[in-house]
Chain A
């Protein structure tokens, strides 16, 4: 790493309505450097990167970039084409690949001239092969992208950026979808690429990987840059404090003797659209006062498992027992009545009806309850009073209980769901990726509520990709890989990672 500046952000600000996404952020990037952009969710990391890449137009501020002659010129903002031409590449958190095309076509897509009839695929393949050799990234080029693994798809995305001769590569939460081993490989490759002069900005909220792989760390909080520190001088506590403003409270997990089984799966099978969405002959038991952590990379059957517990899927064979009683007609309402509280993975899709009010979303699971209705008419006053009380108790912040739920931020939507679930005093709680996309404060709140429920005697099934979360909350850990559940006999990160990747023993 040398100290030649190649990108400078000067006082970028952006507001969405009344929300300040970024406020006067200035940041420099040097050649061959790995800069980690760290911050809680909603701190404005992605917005900042989207302004560099031209997706958003900043309200004020400018970006300067080194051009081919080495001079510093302002970047024309609001145009992705200008950013690409200036040598900026971005890999989004949600991939932007055409699944029916192979990797080579995806890489060439948009980089070809459209007014030519013949395509020069051979030359493109040669160039991609060269890039692969240099960077150490490899991916099958001739297979449709839809058949590739998530890690391979991400490499295709990076190759796509490199193919456009980028000097600056922006990665938005690159490890969110990877196994720990895949993540390590990715950072190894990034290290190799930066030696060749590439500069990388990566967005993350995982302190561990930021400390292990970056050269410099910039921390955003509430849209403003609150600190910049060389990684060699940083430690976990220091940057966590910068991120949240104060040290996070460590939740303590008292050991508790597990009670009687509250949820049992007896040789349960279900067939989904693909092998990864299917389960075969699963046995599972969750006890009272116990948190069972299900670790694993998503897409290995967690959706099917969660679907069965929440009542969205019916088992083909086998039995499900809740609190000792076999559930015959598996439906969402039956599961709710049996005392199962469900925190869905996709809170926007399954958790709330966005256009309906916060108060209506609070009661949507108990509409037949006499507490909220009489002869089919909603008891509006009771519902509103109850909703007011719950928003205070669960700290749901937003424009009020009459406002559409979609106006709440992700963390507050989750709190709304928590309020709905925990207020029903469930015997069993399914928490599917409960802290995904939440900031540290909201995530700590979720963890606290789950531990409270456990102390009260509830059983919890915690499905999460975040190994740290699983390790800190679970009494027992099972690993899900390719539709199979394995009880983990270890709490060692590396060994769990191997189990998740399916190559244990």
Chain B
């Protein structure tokens, strides 16, 4: 018989070794379907590795992919820390992107130093609104934010499609449902020549470091953690739970909005309804992998982006389905979550004593 008991303490080897071990096991698991698809495993994983670390371009592509994931991961992690279940980062991302397009495509033809901050602020405000409304419904009427934020994603996506067919539609777009391009001076500056990597990454990293610092060392962060860990004690101590929840919602929504801004004004330049291949939902995975720690979000986003970009490149090189990328991501998530469980608990084998019969 085996009994599961919580561990009193975990060693450094456990803390850092288990996630790495989980990642390796997930790759081993993913090699099963890979074998079925007929690709040689060693070569496939080599291609995958090469697709991320093989060249400066590959590496920059991976970081480009990680950028929106850091934003949405932070958005989810901060909300979850306050026990506010924001499943709507996807919708808030599109709200941010729409706001960026609304101010950045020619309404204000001002220099970049004014236009870029304006785009970012509007994107944050739009995203924050997208989370503030469900939170208001939660605090005033007890509406479950899991349901409201999730369903808002679909509403926002349909609203976006309407906007792309109507007010936002690019007159020069040959009839495609896409917005006019953001003015050149409104685009976030690229980080390297002839690469897609842009300064959104820098902003994301600054956000992560700030969030980490604020959570640990600010009054706001302490209140946020308190209402998340023990709302009853927080209320008893005089912390205004609903107010703090609302502030967490606004920050969370703003970060998700920034993901949209960074994609539209850093990468694509114009808005379509397939701007995000589910960055909002993947943000939940990133946040969970990171154990809801802001700096952990950066590491988790880079891991997930590596798997995606690497698996894409592998599927192109080996001619296997790119759905394998999704598979690797999901097995790795499962493995890391199980690994986290193993790190927290220990398995005790009970030694059965022989019954003495007389």
Chain A residues close to B by CB (< 8 Å)? 17-18, 57, 71, 73-74, 76-78, 310-312, 331-333, 335-336, 342, 344, 349-356, 360, 364-365, 367-368, 373, 376-378, 380
Contacts and interface: CB of A to CB of B under 8 A. Distances in A.
Contacts of B8: 17-18
A312 B235 contact: yes
Contacts of A310: 236
Given A17-B8, A77-B353, A331 B233 contact: no
Contacts of A354: 229-230
Nearest to A69: B358
Given A310-B236, A342-B236, A367-B239, A378 B230 contact: no
A189 B358 CA distance: 36
Interface in B246-300: none
Nearest to B6: A17
A119 B226 CA distance: 49
A71 B357 CA distance: 10
Contacts of B223: 367
Contacts of A365: 237-238
Nearest to A350: B236
B216 to A, nearest CB: 9
Interface residues of B, number: 27
A73 B358 CA distance: 8
Contact of B222 (A57, A73, A78, A367): A367
A431 to B, nearest CB: 14
A342 B236 CA distance: 9
Contact of A376 (B220, B225, B357): B220
A74 B225 contact: no
B350 interface: yes
Nearest to A363: B222
Contacts of B321: none
Nearest to A352: B233
Interface string B1-17: 00100001000000000
B350 A351 contact: no
Contact of B236 (A73, A344, A356, A376): A344
A367 B238 CA distance: 9
A336 B229 contact: no
Given A336-B238, A377-B217, A377-B219, A356 B356 contact: no
A351 to B, nearest CB: 6
Interface core residue of B219, B229, B235 (most chain A CB under 10 Å): B219
A74 B350 contact: no
B193 interface: no
A364 B232 contact: no
11 contacts: A71-B358, A74-B356, A332-B235, A351-B236, A353-B226, A353-B230, A355-B229, A364-B226, A364-B239, A368-B219, A378-B217
Nearest to B217: A378
Closest 4 CB pairs of A and B: A333-B238, A17-B8, A332-B238, A350-B236
Nearest to B225: A356
Nearest to B357: A73
A17 B358 CA distance: 36
A421 to B, nearest CB: 11
Nearest to A77: B353
Nearest to A311: B238
A353 B217 CA distance: 16
A38 B3 CA distance: 31
A353 B229 contact: yes
B240 interface: yes
B353 A349 contact: no
Contacts of A331: 238, 240
A333 B244 CA distance: 14
B353 A76 contact: yes
Interface string B315-358: 00000000000000000000000000000000000100101111
B35 interface: no
Contacts of B239: 333, 364, 367
A356 B238 contact: no
B233 A350 contact: yes
A332 B355 contact: no
Contacts of A312: 235-236
